[in-house]
Amino acid sequence: MIPETDSPAISVLMVVYGGGALAVDAAASLVAHTTQPFELIVVDNASADDSVSAIREGIVGVTVIAEERNLGFGQGNNRAARDARAPVICMLNPDARVTPGWLDPLLAVLADSRVGAVAPALVGADGELQEVGAMVDHWGYTGPIGTRGFGSPVPTPTGRVTVDYASAACLLMRTEVFRSIDGFDPTYRLAYYEDVDLCFRLWERGLKVIGEPASRVIHLGGGTVTPVVSQALWHHNRSVFLHRWRDELAQRPSFHSASDEELERLWAWRASSHASP
């Protein structure tokens, strides 16, 4: 049961398209590990199964917005944000599980007015680090910080890092900032790259995006669409992103063709301590 509050410190936004049981488990982790008063707003994107009933029965105190069509991830979050009452919003995937002490380090980062968004370290169910934010290369490909990728060692941060973008699997922003940039851009169809674009728009306004490894959230992964549809959406939305941000990306190296030295300089540039707030 989500404790009632007239003054939530944070509004957790969750978009569901099938798999309501995942959302119920995510809510249970929020109740168990969130010490600040919060509200949970779930947007169901016209799930074909019984997700709406499962969520309403399994999460006492949740606000459910049942849509008649699939708005997609970005637009679903935009819809939820319209009803958010707290000064801070957290986009949280239904396949994410918060852990003890997850929230306070993120709120501490977000208290800095120079920061536009902050994300925790995402880890797998086995505790293996997935990312603490990510970098973006010349072609719009994203590379996670904190893991080994693209044939080059990527440093595992021990403190806050400034990143190009952080996944909206768990992403916190001040509500006023989210609304001031009109949230996620509906140009990105259904899913993929809407969170990358959001973070780039924050950078464009002079606001930083931070990864905070002092906070850890388990990200189980997996999706509710077929691999073929998923791949088609990813390619389409990457093309949209690449066209929109081509000038910003022009001077960056490519993850797939850069030398190890070039990549190490790129990682060091974003991960250096002087770039953190």
pLDDT in tens, 234-245: 999 999 999 999
What CA dihedral angle connects 111, 112, 118 and 121, to 10 degrees? Answer: -90
| Confidence (pLDDT) at 276 | 41
Domain 10-275 classified CATH 3.90.550.10?
yes
Tokens 């049942």 belong to residue? 66
pLDDT in tens, 148-205: 554 444 556 778 989 999 999 999 999 999 999 999 999 998 889 999 999 999 999 9
Instruction: Record the pTM.
Output: 0.91
Q: In sequence order, what are the beta bridge partners of 11? A: 39, 89
Distance (Å, whole) CA 249 – CA 242: 8
Q: φ and ψ at 122, to 5 degrees?
A: -95, 130
